[in-house]
Structure 1
Amino acid sequence: MKKLKELFNKIKELPDKDRQDITSLLWQLICYSPKFPLRLQQQQLLDEATPFSLEADDPHFSRSALKFNGFIWGNGSRKVLITHGWGSKAADFIDLIAALRSIEDLQVIAFDAPGNGSSEGELSNLMLFAKATEAVITTYGSPEIMIGHSLGVMANTMATQETGTKPNLLISIAPMVRLKENFIATMTNADVPKIAQDKFFENFEAIFGMPTSQFDLSEMYTPGTAVRHWLAYDPEDKVAPFAYLQELLTACPAISTKEYEATGHERIIKDTRLIADILKLVRG
């Protein structure tokens, strides 16, 4: 987190930002995922798992295959795959994973996406999240239940489409909906002028071969992706505003939803009400 704050302050204090090319700094600001050390309880949770390592190709940043680390709890017949959000890691789901382990017929799988947690990579992006999710599905089989938080919801959506997976239950928690707007908010907070923002988005399109505006969950999501889709959100979420989420829900009325007020974007995954509701859904 220290590195991200230093980078943010460096950009914010730059003179004449509208007259110089700061695109390289903006890539770091947008794509550097802060890493937080494991707490004792989180380390103990990982110590009880069966670890694994897979690879995800990164043609845009490192131009190499990045190893990412994953963890498996249990050997039940029903697979649950958890995909974390930006600046997060598998162990951040400690409370949910502990609760899911109380259900005997489950096998719970979670991983640290490239550039996050314990996995390789200096910078990360949605494509790497999705490729890692695809690699887990390809290696361990299609999960019956998929759980995603924030950017992990987008990654799960992309992975189901690429692998042809159709989970019986898809759980989306505080989904990121419009990635471009999130980038704009980050740059605006750092006092990046529009001319520099426009240059960044031009560079983004040149590198990825598509505009950032295509990373819109309302456009990416296909009805029928899962047998059942349940979505949890905080209506006052500042990171993933409800106004954007409403577009998805209007287009896909079959998605069941539940509000969790005053949880916030990051802490919602620890909410005891949410965890209790997920257990009910998983138990059927």
Structure 2
Amino acid sequence: MASLLRTTLDVSARLAPGLAGAPAFALFVRPLGRPRLRPEEAEVMAQARTGRMLVRGIPVTTYRWGDGERPVLLVHGWSSRASRFAGFVEALRAEGRTVVAFDAPGHGESGGRASTVRDYREIISRLHAEYGDFSTVLAHSVGVLAGLFSLRDGVRADRVIGIGGIAEFGYLLDQFRARLGVGEAVERVLRSHIERRVFPGEADIWQRLDATRGPADRQMPILLIHDVDDDVADPAQSRAIAAAHGSRARLIETSGLGHRRILADRRVIAEAVEFAVSPPPPPSPESSESSESSATSPSSRPSDARASAVAR
């Protein structure tokens, strides 16, 4: 079946590109399964005040813990859900912070079977309109790309935390091609479909979907945490974000946690929450921006007995 699908897409993309875009896109935007709520996440999620919004006619579930201003926004990754941030919610609430989150279409408790970066952007923008500026945007995987994309389009936050982040949309297309084993022709028709159907009339969309180009806010500090054993998002993605944002970015690399278990690591959670609740640094002159990222000292890096952080 996989071989037949691959051949069909490849042939269609070469001979009838106008017809190949829709089926390729349908595969591209469909999550790889819908993970269930884990028992250890249930209590935290039960404490949330849930809400609903419609995105493309699809019911989207939102969550809120607390009633304070300038909440922390959580943005989950692909084939994931907001509940995976349960440990972060507990730690942030212990610091008195209000937290908001959502399940994107096709994820968690939301409806639908597919989701796009545009959906993420719309949800984040509407939460921003409802709750005001965020104190922190804390995101994982594709959520990092979506969060930074939204910040370029008017959403405001004091700081960003990206865990196992994706820097550029083109990387997602490369992964899609590799997973299906299809050729460049499929990517070309997929790009064309995205331009015409997902972002019609939006200029420079590929530049804006690349977090390494033109940082949204030149004063906003960024913490990046990425595991060197991540088999989903290449650590080079976070390194590229760090390099693009210069001295405002701090990159921490762990090992042995992978792409998903990193969200449950106690030291990673502690490091992220400490960054989220710390006072904002004074504005730095534009001239102080550099292409190098800093790393924490060995004693403060998130790690466990099996894995130590590596500064790159």
CA separation in 1, counterparts of 2:3 and 2:126? 38
Contact 1:52 1:71 in 2 (8 A): yes
* Pick aligned residue for 2:28 from 27, 30, 34: 30
Q: Indicate yes or no: 2:244 matched with 1:246.
A: no
Most deviating of 24-33 and 237-246: 237-246
Q: What is the aligned partner in structure 2 of residue 189 from structure 1? A: 179
What is the CA-CA distance between 1:166 and the residue it aligns to? 3.3
* Pick aligned residue for 1:71 from 49, 63, 85: 63
Q: Indicate yes or no: 2:154 matched with 1:163.
A: yes
Alignment of 1:104-253 (within 5 A): 105-167=96-158, 169-207=159-197, 208-209=199-200, 213-214=206-207, 215-219=209-213, 221-224=215-218, 226=220, 228-253=221-246
Determine helix, strand or coil for the equivalent of 1:252: helix
Q: What is the aligned partner in structure 1 of residue 249 from structure 2? A: 255
Contact 2:30 2:115 in 1 (8 A): yes
Most deviating of 212-221 and 266-275: 212-221
Most deviating of 118-127 and 68-77: 68-77
Most deviating of 18-27 and 230-239: 18-27
**Structure 1: runs of 5+ lacking an equivalent:** 1-9, 57-63
Measured on the aligned residues, the alpha-carbon RMSD in Å equals: 2.4
CA separation in 2, counterparts of 1:41 and 1:53? 24
Distance of aligned partners of 1:99 and 1:206 in 2 relative to their CA distance in 1, 3 Å threshold: same
CA separation in 1, counterparts of 2:83 and 2:256? 23
Instruction: Give deviations 1:180-232, integer Å, cap 9, x for gaps.
Output: 22222222222213333333223233323468743211125334262x22111
CA separation in 2, counterparts of 1:213 and 1:158? 11
CA separation in 1, counterparts of 2:204 and 2:191? 7
Superposition TM-score, scaled by structure 2 size:
0.76
Determine helix, strand or coil for the equivalent of 1:278: helix
CA separation in 2, counterparts of 1:46 and 1:245? 29
Distance of aligned partners of 1:19 and 1:283 in 2 relative to their CA distance in 1, 3 Å threshold: closer
Q: Which amino acid aligns with 2:64?
A: I
Contact 2:137 2:157 in 1 (8 A): no
Determine helix, strand or coil for the equivalent of 2:190: helix
Superposition TM-score, scaled by structure 1 size:
0.83
CA separation in 2, counterparts of 1:249 and 1:184? 21
Q: Indicate yes or no: 2:87 matched with 1:95.
A: yes
What is the CA-CA distance between 1:78 and the residue it aligns to? 5.0
Q: Which amino acid aligns with 2:184?
A: K
Q: What is the aligned partner in structure 2 of residue 43 from structure 1? A: 42
After superposing on structure 2, the runs of 4+ consecutive aligned residues of structure 1 that deviate more than 6 Å are none
Give the fraction of aligned pairs with identical amino acids, expressed as a percent.
Answer: 23
CA separation in 2, counterparts of 1:118 and 1:220? 34
Instruction: Give deviations 1:76-116, integer Å, cap 9, x for gaps.
Output: 4552111111111111111221222222x211111112232
**Structure 2: runs of 5+ lacking an equivalent:** 14-19, 279-312
Contact 2:226 2:253 in 1 (8 A): yes
